[in-house]
């Protein structure tokens, strides 16, 4: 009897020790849980999320909500084993390796800066996509974002140079610039016309070889000049995944008629200036956020449909598959017309 009691006491102590150890043992995992939902055609602390200056804008009822994922853990704030195990068992949370968000070769400052830059780029792309969908013209310029060391452009081109012509042919963006420079054999010359500090310069370079492609060693980006100002304020949120909902929000603000007709629509997807909608991560948790917001529909990129279908809240919201911004506009029209959810393109 004494031996059995001793064994039981030791077992209980070991269990308690393991539980306590798990409670405080840090592990290199992240926990993803449903984050905030923010109405892009609404207000935050009394200010419009999307503000337009220089063009007439409108305010409508309804919601076009961007939804987010909240991550816990990471370098310096690692999760304990017990919390991670609990998240594994939760239908609304996901566990992923720390490296998924925090690559070991990048500092926290670099990651934060990248997220902020992606957010800024997504807002610019959303404005371009919205204006394109509305048929409003804007100007796109090809701008030098960086120059590689020991490359043909080194010492000849500089950041913020605006490339206006390649071999005398006008260019209106980075894609045209890259295509025209590459349209020759490596080693052939190329002449660029550049706008620098208000003055026009002509630069002749000899291309070099990059796996059979002619390059000059610059990183090029698009600088877009819009006919009016569009400002988007979402606080500390980063990343590119709200692009589609920003574009729809901008369109709603610029349209006399409401896009939602009072309905609550949530969604997540990146956006390109041409309107292409791309997939994002964390959609399982974002559908939960949408359901908690009371959304009737969730718009998602086609490539993210699998994630949406796995969400525990997928039966609470009608998930609509989106490939282009125009698809989202068509879906909103169907919703306004009272079409049945099954008539919309679903995942």
| Average pLDDT of span 312-326 | 95
* HSE toward the beta carbon, residue 173, CA cutoff 13 A: 10
Distances (CA, A) of 265 to 61, 270, 275, 287: 12, 16, 19, 11
Q: How confident is the model at residue 72 (pLDDT cuts 50, 70, 90)?
A: confident
| Average pLDDT of span 240-246 | 95
| Average pLDDT of span 59-74 | 89
| Average pLDDT of span 122-136 | 96
Q: How confident is the model at residue 12 (pLDDT cuts 50, 70, 90)?
A: very low
pLDDT value of position 109: 75
Q: Are 310 and 338 in contact (CB under 8 A)?
A: no
* Residue count of the chain: 347
**23 pLDDT higher than 60:** no
- Would you say the C-alpha torsion 325, 327, 333, 335 has a positive or negative sign? negative
* Least confident range of 112-121, 196-205, 264-273, 301-310: 112-121
CA–CA separation, 231 and 229 (whole Å) = 6
**79 pLDDT higher than 80:** no
**13 pLDDT higher than 50:** no
pLDDT value of position 76: 64
Q: What is the mean pLDDT of the chain?
A: 87
Q: How confident is the model at residue 78 (pLDDT cuts 50, 70, 90)?
A: low
Domain 139-225 superfamily per CATH: PDZ domain (2.30.42.10)
What dihedral do alpha carbons 69, 70, 73, 74 form, nearest 10°? 60
* Least confident range of 102-106, 138-142, 263-267, 336-340: 102-106
**100 pLDDT higher than 90:** no
List the beta bridge partners of residue 225.
139
| Average pLDDT of span 231-255 | 93
Q: How confident is the model at residue 323 (pLDDT cuts 50, 70, 90)?
A: very high
Residue 80, by phi and psi: left (phi above 0), alpha (psi -120 to 50) or beta?
Answer: beta
pLDDT value of position 99: 73
pLDDT value of position 10: 39
Token pair recorded at residue 292: 């908690």
Residue 235, by phi and psi: left (phi above 0), alpha (psi -120 to 50) or beta?
Answer: left
pLDDT value of position 120: 87
C-alpha R_g of the chain: 25
pLDDT tens-place string over residues 154-167: 999 999 999 999 99
Q: Are 271 and 91 in contact (CB under 8 A)?
A: no
Q: Under CATH, which architecture does the 30-74+109-134+228-343 domain have?
A: 2-Layer Sandwich (3.30)
Q: Kindly list the domain boundaries of the chain, sorted by start residue.
A: 30-74+109-134+228-343, 139-225
Q: How confident is the model at residue 98 (pLDDT cuts 50, 70, 90)?
A: confident
**19 pLDDT higher than 70:** no
**26 pLDDT higher than 80:** no
Burial of 301 (0-12, 13-18, 19+ CB in 10 A): buried
Q: What is the distance in angstroms between the CA of the first residue and the CA of the last residue of the chain?
A: 63
**18 pLDDT higher than 60:** no
pLDDT value of position 221: 87
Q: Which residue has the tokens 């400002």?
A: 231
SS3 readout for the chain:
CHHHHHHHHHHHHHHHHHHHHHHHCEECEEEEEEEEEEECCCEECCEECEEEECCCCCCCCCEEEEEEEEEECCCCCCEEHHHHHHHHHCCCCEEEEHHHCCCCCCCHHHHHHHHHHHHHHHHHHHHHHHHHHHCCCCEEEEEEEEECCCCCCECCECCCCEEEEECCEECCCHHHHHHHHHCCCCCCEEEEEEEECCEEEEEEEECEEECCEEECCEEEEEEEECCCEEEECCCCCCCCCCHHHHHHHHHHHHCCCCCCCCCEEEEECEECCCCEEECCCCHHHHHHHHHHHCCCEEEEEHHHHHHHHHCCCCCCCEEEEECEHHHHHHHHHHHHCCCCHHHCCEC
């Amino acid at each position: 009897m004494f031996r059995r009691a001793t064994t039981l006491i030791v077992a209980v102590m070991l269990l308690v020790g393991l539980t306590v150890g798990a409670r405080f043992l840090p592990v290199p995992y992240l926990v993803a849980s449903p984050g905030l939902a923010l109405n892009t055609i609404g207000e935050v602390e009394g200010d419009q999320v999307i503000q337009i200056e220089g063009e007439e804008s409108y305010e409508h009822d309804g919601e076009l909500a961007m939804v987010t994922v909240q991550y816990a853990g990471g370098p310096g704030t690692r999760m304990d084993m017990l919390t991670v195990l609990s998240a594994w068992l939760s239908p609304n949370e996901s566990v992923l390796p720390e490296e998924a968000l925090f690559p070991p070769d990048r500092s926290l400052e670099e990651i934060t800066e990248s997220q902020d830059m992606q957010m800024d780029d997504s807002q610019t792309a959303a404005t371009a996509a919205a204006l394109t969908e509305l048929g409003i013209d804007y100007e796109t310029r090809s701008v030098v974002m960086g120059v590689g060391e020991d490359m043909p452009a080194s010492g000849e081109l500089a950041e913020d140079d605006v490339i206006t012509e390649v071999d005398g042919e006008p260019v209106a963006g980075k894609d045209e610039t890259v295509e025209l420079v590459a349209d020759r054999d490596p080693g052939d010359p190329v002449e660029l016309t550049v706008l620098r500090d208000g003055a026009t310069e002509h630069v002749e370079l000899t291309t070099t070889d990059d796996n059979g492609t002619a390059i000059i060693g610059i990183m090029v980006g698009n600088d877009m000049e819009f006919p009016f100002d569009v400002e988007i304020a979402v606080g500390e949120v980063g990343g590119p995944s709200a692009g589609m909902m920003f574009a729809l929000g901008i369109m709603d603000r610029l349209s006399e008629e409401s896009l939602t007709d009072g309905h609550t629509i949530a969604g997540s997807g990146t956006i390109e200036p041409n309107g292409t909608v791309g997939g994002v991560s964390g959609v399982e948790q974002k559908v939960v956020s949408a359901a908690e917001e009371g959304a009737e529909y969730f718009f998602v990129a086609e490539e993210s449909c699998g994630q949406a279908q796995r969400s525990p809240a997928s039966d609470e919201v009608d998930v609509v598959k989106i490939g282009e911004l125009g698809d989202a506009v068509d879906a909103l029209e169907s919703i306004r017309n009272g079409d049945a959810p099954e008539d919309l393109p679903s995942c």
